Amino acid sequence: MAYNLIILAVIFFLSLGQVSLSGGILAPGIFPDLIMVLSVFWVSYFGIERKIGWIVTAGFFLDLAAGETVGKNIFLLALIAYATSYFSGKLLLSGEAGKFFLMMAFIAAGTLINEILGRTLTLLVLNDGFRFALLAGREVFLKTFFNLIFFALIYFPVNKLEKTFFVQKEEIKI
């Protein structure tokens, strides 16, 4: 129960932080996708079966906090989670260093997918016409850079938190 409350609080505060701090700290459009980074970490380290419910919840909170169409971020996060799950199953690396760098590659690819598909969906919903210049710009690469920095900062604390609660849950089941 404590684990679920901690994860729910983390998702809630990261969603609010991602939306409210995006224009204040960095230029608009390049603030890191905190929820996407956390989702890629969860899926590649613990599997999609254990974390898809939390990823859908995170997408829902992010949609509500951003005031966007409910379902856009849920769809994007679920798509990125399934792609990450598929490719992490195919690319088996041993050791923490291998997993760390593989997750960095997934985050870079996930950021590109999130930005390109997110902007395309927004243009389609707004019926504003298709402009390729909005899809691939300087902001996408800066956002990828900041996502990788955020991932490097949260990797070890979140890994420790998940391992602590995961070990406790496994001991209770036996």
Q: Are 75 and 120 in contact (CB under 8 A)?
A: no
> 107 vs 32, 114, 127, 133, 145, CA distance in Å?
11, 10, 29, 22, 10
Please name which of 22, 17, 8 lies closest in space to residue 58, comparing C-alpha atoms: 8
Q: Enumerate the domain spans of the chain.
A: 2-173
Fold designation for 2-173: Arp2/3 complex 21 kDa subunit ARPC3 (1.10.1760)
Residue 136 φ/ψ region, left for φ over 0, alpha for ψ in the -120 to 50 degree band, beta for the rest: beta
53: how many CB neighbours lie within 10 A of its CB? 10
Q: What is the dihedral of CA 27, 159, 3, 59, to 10 degrees?
A: 40
Name the DSSP letter for residue 47: -
For the chain, 174 residues long, give each residue's pLDDT as a single digit of tens. Answer: 777 888 899 899 988 888 887 766 777 677 888 899 989 988 887 889 888 999 999 999 998 988 878 888 999 999 999 999 998 878 866 677 788 888 899 999 999 888 888 878 877 777 765 565 555 677 788 888 989 998 988 888 877 777 776 654 444 444
Global pTM reads 0.81
Q: What is the pLDDT of residue 174?
A: 47
Please state, in angstroms and rounded to a whole number, the distance separating the CA atoms of residues 131 and 122. 12
Q: Are 150 and 32 in contact (CB under 8 A)?
A: yes
